[in-house]
Amino acid sequence: MPENTVTTPLAPMELDDVAAAFAYIRAMHADDIDTACAIADDTGPELHRLLLDVAARVFIPVTAADDHDGEPCAHSFLAAALGRLLLELLCHSVCLANAPGIADTIVRFTENILTEDHGDVADVLRQPEAAGMKQAMEAHPAHRTTA
C-alpha cells in the first residue's frame, strides 16, 4: 500500500524560519521585491529549504485528504501522489527551483486550489503560518517570549 502523507507528520520548523519564509512569500505576493530581497539576503541559501518546508505544509494537507470514514482510499492516495509530485519537482530543480519560483508556486496553488474564486491568498496562508508557528513554539519552547 502506498505511503499516506496524512499519517506522516511534518517535522516542526524553527519559529524564526516560519516567520522568514512566510514574510518572503507575502512580500513576493505583494510584488514587494525590495522586502523579498532583504529577507532572502538575511536568510541566505537556507531560504530554499524553508520555502520547501512551507510548500509541504500548504500542499500536503490539501492533497493528502482521506474521505472514506477516516480511512485512506484510492482518491486520497492519488491526491497525496499529486502533492508529493509537486514537492518533488520543486525539490529537484525540475520546476521553479529558485526562491521566487517556489513562493510563486505556493501563492498560485493557494489561489487556485485553496481559495474560492481566487479569494484572499494572504488570509488563507495565515492558517498554515499560524499552525507552523504553534508547532515551532511547542517543539522549541526556548524560543517562546514572555510578556
Q: Mean pLDDT throughout 10-34?
A: 92
Average pLDDT (22-30) is 93
pLDDT for 34: 97
| Residue 80 grid coordinates | 497525496
Residue 37: the pLDDT is: 95
Average pLDDT value for residue range 69-97:
63
Cα–Cα distance, 50 to 40 (Å, whole number)? 11
Residue 100, pLDDT > 70, answer: yes
- What is the average per-residue pLDDT within 32-52? 94
Residue 138 near residue 12 (C-beta atoms within 8 A):
yes
Torsion sign over Cα 51, 92, 45, 17: positive
Could you report the per-residue pLDDT of 81-90, keeping only the tens digit for each?
A: 667 667 766 6
What is the residue-averaged pLDDT of the chain? 77
pTM for the model: 0.61
pLDDT (0 to 100) of residue 27: 95
